[in-house]
Amino acid sequence: MVLDLPVPWYALLGLMGAALVAGWVDAVVGGGGLVQLPSLLIGLPADTPTGDVLGTNKVSSVAGTVAATITYLRSVTVDWLGVLPLVVLAALGSTLGALAARLIPRAYLTPIVLVALIAVGLFTVFRPSLGLEHAPRHTGWAQAWRTGVIGLSVGGYDGLLGPGTGSFFLIALVAVLGYGFLEASARTKIANLATNIASIIVFGAHGEVLWLVGGCMALANLTGGWLGARTAVRLGSSFVRRVFLVVVSVLILKLAYDTVVTFIE
């Protein structure tokens, strides 16, 4: 367990600002880790191990996820039997992914996330009506196994890398199951909460969390998550879709720039 502050106070304030924005983004469309994780990669010392970066990111993220989940559940009806396979298998996938995360060098994170983001962004752009109406396509066992596969695969990615998990949950629930963006966002928060908790247990058990940094960022992320969920509920699926595309586009450009710079160096 690491309690010492490894960054200057002004860097910590910058990380808290990033966590606030990430909490808002994550609550609206998912993918707040794509704001927060790059900030940690920049703000923490260059020799910080991958596990410490990812573990600290999870501690911060879980606070905003809790706030967003509570806010959504007050306004969006959720079929808990339908959500159960998503949550259980997402937690399992996240645990397995977190166990493997320590084997991945930091330099590999950016290009992997970049490729996934481009694919998700293009898919959403070329399906303009996607997610604007809530029209579930499956029930019973057909819904359950599809939901479970989404949970296991995206949960595994969340434990392994993390950034963009909410976006991937969101687009999978919309594209595969026919949910509206708002309804998918509510279910995404529940699944994300399970994956975050599972990952924190694994990273914490291995002493790979900067608890003081993560705790300070968690307070900011919680505020952002509460504000973001309220905004999404008030403005609906069309607003969520627009924010989703803006966030994905900006982050693709940023990660592409980072990849090119790293390649040149």
Q: How confident is the model at residue 135 (pLDDT cuts 50, 70, 90)?
A: low
| 101, pLDDT greater than 80 | no
Contact 52, 158 (CB under 8 A): no
What confidence score (pLDDT) does residue 4 get? 62
What confidence score (pLDDT) does residue 19 get? 93
Interhelix angle 80-101/181-205, nearest 10 degrees: 40
Which tokens is 234 given? 């008030």
Contact 158, 26 (CB under 8 A): no
Type of residue numbered 68 = A
Q: Which range is least confidently modeled, 50-54, 171-175, 241-245? A: 241-245
Quote the CA–CA distance of 190 and 65 in Å, as a whole number: 8
Domain ranges, ordered by start, for the chain: 49-264
Segment 171-195, tens digit of pLDDT: 888 888 888 888 888 888 888 888 8
